[in-house]
Structure 1
Amino acid sequence: MSERNGLRYGLLGLALLVLLAILALVANRPDVPVNQAESLPAKPAKLESLAELNGQAPTHRNLKIQSWQTAEGAKVLFVEAPQLPMFDLRLTFAAGSSQDGEVQGLAMLTNAMLNEGVPGKDVGAIAAGFESLGAEFGNGAYRDMAVASLRSLTAPEQREPALRLFSEVIGQPTFPEDALARIKNQMLAGFEYQKQSPGKLASLELFERLYGNHPYAHSSDGTATSIPQIGREQLQAFHAKAYAAGNVVIALVGDLSRSEAEALVAQVSGALPKGPALAKIAQPQEPEAGAHHIDFPSNQTHLLIAQLGIDRRDPDYAALYLGNQIFGGGGFGTRLMEEVREKRGLTYGVYSGFSAMQARGPFMINLQTRAELSEGTLQLVKDLLRDYLASGPTQEELDNAKREMAGSFPLSTASNAAIVGQLGSMGFYDLPLDYLEVFMQQVQALTAEQVKTAMAKHLDPEALVIVSAGPSVEQQELPPPTDTPAEQPAGVPEH
């Protein structure tokens, strides 16, 4: 008998055994009176196949967000989710690189060192402790914020020791010297690698030109000059100030009652240093428009086109989000992708987006193209932006974008991890508790004229800061638009 036939007969035999077992179970189960059966709560039907969706968009979860403040001043957002016996905890501190001051990279290095040592435990013991409990620790630092997260089962035998270890990590990091030296070396190696990435070099240059002396100007990673100078005492001081209980938003989602959630966040908040929230970041000054080129021996040229956008609480956020989805933020089908890639084959991908932060974040368009076509491609993108700001979206573009957003938006709350991320962002940027529902209502109510007005109000095609990185070569004219453009060279794009 062949292996294939043997496997087939084996599976048939297994299926027969399972069927017999089910028949025996049904035959021997106790009878349930009709009135009792009717009184039993009906179980929700489970999705057995994606075909059952029948083209319907997933339903947005109706979140009942509860909020309070701990005794130490931490802001809490909690959603009870009993569907799975686990919880997701996310702490968002106003401790990003915008708080570095004169020591670039301080915030990132502090965050990276949190789980490198606590009293009585080194990095190996910490990792083994979380792993033995089936728990996951995460951390990261960005321009606005630094985060620390925990995922664990909610059973007390897993939850309680996981929380104790997490509380030590966020509240009592020892910043051991050997770990500090190791991480510094890793970062220095990363800086060397950046020198070989034209996209990274262009990004660093763009933020410096866009933000000048503002805290957003420098990279969250610091520099090859600043990182070696940072000492353990500076990390301790920054932790004591920026990781204070008054400077954190605690987001919690999981299989917990309100009383259990209150006890959990009280334990976490109490483990943090005592202190108030740090001051908000000031708004940046308008940059000087203009173009700058970085000569780099690559096959393609990286183009970054930007200007200051909005902060996260701007009332035009919904209109700008929708308007950008149509212009260049929604992938295939956007104006940029249609005109630059589909009709002319000038790039693998071209994208635009608003990065709304505590202070005004950038609006940016980025792409790669053949070096000899870079100037023409840049002019094409600028013309497309100018035309879009002047004419706004068509009704068809607006309807398509609304429909796409209505279908994809439920994914933003499709998992506990997604919800806890939304809660952390809402708390950090002081958004209302009904923000998720109100946002989609705002989007669906927008008219083409409102989108056009908002985009034209916040963007100016004559105020662009442009950075390109690639070889200096003789330029060629762009090919005319066609239904069958020439294919771009194979390669992984950098954005």
Structure 2
Amino acid sequence: MSERNTLRYGLLALALLVLLAILLLLVDREDPVESVPAALERDRLESLAELNGQEPNRRDLQIQTWQTAEGAKVLFVEARELPMFDLRLIFAAGSSQDDGVPGLAMLTNAMLNEGVPGKDVGAIAAGFENLGAQFGNGSYRDMAVASLRALSARDIRDPALRLFGEVLGQPTFPEDALTRIKNQLMAGFEYQKQDPGKLASLELFRRLYGEHPYAHPSDGTAESIPAIDRAQLQAFHAKAYAAGNAVIALVGDLSRSEAEALAAQVSAALPQGPALPHIAQPEAPEAGASHIDFPSKQTHLMLAQLGIDRRDPDYAALYLGNQIFGGGGFGTRLMEEVREKRGLTYGVYSGFSAMQARGPFMISLQTRAELSAGTLQLVKELLRDYLDKGPTQKELDDAKRELAGSFPRSNASNAAIAGQLGSIGFYDLPLDHLETFMAEVKALSVEQVKAALRRHLDPEALVIVSAGPDVAQQELPPPTDTPAAQPTGVPEH
């Protein structure tokens, strides 16, 4: 052994002796707060196997609720783990409230942070950024949303809330910004003409809902958007963004008194007015198929019928039943039969969109154009068979275990909790909804799921829209455990 190696190993041995001595001191020393073994026990990673079939723990939210003086409903969860808060306002101000002017709700929401008295869009963005705060907004069929995330320290919280209140309560809807956003939307409408999936979706909602407010797209149309003016935005904002039409969801490092003061400040900054009435339920549509001729190699297939509203007592049973059929990704009946055994698609999905009125139940996929007729027939047969026989006990048990394991993620972060609170408040669900939902799922039997599915779905009542080329059709390949490999790359539209 060389002299250099001898010196190296000697230093290494000395270092190990020093490290061992430090560890012994740490173990022997009495820590008035926590011993090292206790800390290690607390921080160690735990195997899922140790659950021994039991459900993971779910966070006890302890939701508190009240109403502001202006009529806004507040739901609050105190969460002291992080020095910040998440604020989410939900208004019944989605496109279902457009009142004959498609795109009005979306444009109003998009313009909120484009200008307030004394500040343009750049100053607003800089104001939030300088505080380390995040502003967000969006508009959908049922609702419009605005959110704020910021540190809970008063020197950050107070100015962030003032700016947030200005954006929601005093938007100026500047003409230059309105022109810019309209131009962006019109460019988007032109792009939609090259997207067969989007064309199929637009046609599907038109056929499914007819004259109902859900029928038209939330973004409006190429005919409606150019005519919307600033006065219409101001009028819609005054009625739809009123405090009485708002749900305030709040989660974070705040006491009850601080939360009440915050909610009161935001509520007072909004226009004053009552809640808008709920929209009516849609009429049942005429079943049948329609086709959009589009030059592509793939054909988009969309099948739908009216589903349920968010307060339907069968919600849990339908949710679980759909997870087995086509809502849970790989392992569902649709994915197994259509993709895994036959290689007909990259993905096929189904789902209930439960909304304020009856939302759609929808199945969507895309497949090779020459196999589209056979694939459509296969999907219809799979739905008919599922409604006739229901899930197996194993499928039900597997779906329950998967849901029990994934459901805690729905309240794993403050932002996720704020989203849950917003839904509970907007759809008038009970405060213990998250707990009762899981209890309902756990108690469901095969027959209960089957009965719920058959109450709400009818394979003969499907509205079907396809978009793709008119080509000669081929027979489907037989099912196999080793289907032909899917082509590489993104499917061609």
Normalized against structure 1, the TM-score is what? 0.91
Distance 1:45 1:139, change over 3 A: farther
Match of 1:220 in 2: 218
User: What code does the residue aligned with 1:404 have?
Assistant: E
Residue 389 (structure 1) aligned with residue 387 (structure 2) = yes
> C-alpha separation between the residues in 2 aligned to 1:204 and 1:55?
49
Q: Identify which of 294, 297, 321 aligns with 1:296.
A: 294
Residue 176 (structure 1) aligned with residue 174 (structure 2) = yes
By how many angstroms is 1:102 displaced? 1.2
By how many angstroms is 1:324 displaced? 0.4
Match of 2:4 in 1: none
Residue 354 (structure 1) aligned with residue 352 (structure 2) = yes
Alpha-carbon contact 2:344-2:368 (below 8 Å) kept: yes
SS of the residue 2:277 aligns to: coil
Residue 399 (structure 1) aligned with residue 397 (structure 2) = yes
* Structure 2: gaps of 5 or more residues: 1-7
> C-alpha separation between the residues in 1 aligned to 2:64 and 2:491?
42
Match of 1:196 in 2: 194
SS of the residue 2:458 aligns to: coil
Aligned ranges 1:269-280 → 2 under 5 Å: 269-280=267-278
Residue 258 (structure 1) aligned with residue 256 (structure 2) = yes
User: What code does the residue aligned with 2:439 have?
Assistant: Q
Alpha-carbon contact 1:355-1:361 (below 8 Å) kept: yes
SS of the residue 2:214 aligns to: helix
By how many angstroms is 1:60 displaced? 1.3
Distance 1:85 1:48, change over 3 A: farther
User: What code does the residue aligned with 1:335 have?
Assistant: R
SS of the residue 2:249 aligns to: strand
* Structure 1: gaps of 5 or more residues: 1-8
Aligned ranges 1:237-248 → 2 under 5 Å: 237-248=235-246
> C-alpha separation between the residues in 2 aligned to 1:458 and 1:482?
32
> C-alpha separation between the residues in 2 aligned to 1:308 and 1:122?
43
SS of the residue 1:101 aligns to: coil
> C-alpha separation between the residues in 1 aligned to 2:318 and 2:403?
13
Distance 1:191 1:450, change over 3 A: same
By how many angstroms is 1:55 displaced? 6.5
Match of 1:463 in 2: 461
Normalized against structure 2, the TM-score is what? 0.92
By how many angstroms is 1:313 displaced? 0.2
Distance 1:346 1:393, change over 3 A: same
Q: Deviations over 1:316-343 (max 9, x none)?
A: 0000000000000011111000000000
By how many angstroms is 1:58 displaced? 4.3
Q: Deviations over 1:144-185 (max 9, x none)?
A: 000000000001111110000000000000000011111111
Match of 1:313 in 2: 311
Match of 1:5 in 2: none
User: What code does the residue aligned with 2:69 have?
Assistant: A
> C-alpha separation between the residues in 1 aligned to 2:151 and 2:483?
53
By how many angstroms is 1:37 displaced? 5.3
User: What code does the residue aligned with 2:274 have?
Assistant: P
Q: Deviations over 1:76-126 (max 9, x none)?
A: 000000000000000000000000011100000000000000000000000
Q: State the number of aligned residues.
A: 472
Distance 1:384 1:108, change over 3 A: same
SS of the residue 1:235 aligns to: helix
By how many angstroms is 1:489 displaced? 2.6
User: What code does the residue aligned with 1:458 have?
Assistant: H
SS of the residue 2:319 aligns to: helix
User: What code does the residue aligned with 2:224 have?
Assistant: S
Alpha-carbon contact 2:351-2:362 (below 8 Å) kept: yes
Q: Identify which of 74, 77, 83 aligns with 2:72.
A: 74
User: What code does the residue aligned with 2:438 have?
Assistant: M
By how many angstroms is 1:301 displaced? 0.3
Match of 1:488 in 2: 486
Aligned ranges 1:102-251 → 2 under 5 Å: 102-251=100-249
Distance 1:119 1:478, change over 3 A: same
> C-alpha separation between the residues in 1 aligned to 2:255 and 2:214?
40
> C-alpha separation between the residues in 2 aligned to 1:493 and 1:424?
37
> C-alpha separation between the residues in 2 aligned to 1:68 and 1:493?
50
By how many angstroms is 1:47 displaced? 4.6
Match of 1:449 in 2: 447
SS of the residue 1:175 aligns to: coil
Q: Identify which of 417, 420, 433 aligns with 1:422.
A: 420
Match of 1:370 in 2: 368
SS of the residue 2:263 aligns to: helix
| RMSD of aligned Cα (Å) | 2.4
Q: Deviations over 1:387-414 (max 9, x none)?
A: 0000000000000000000000000001
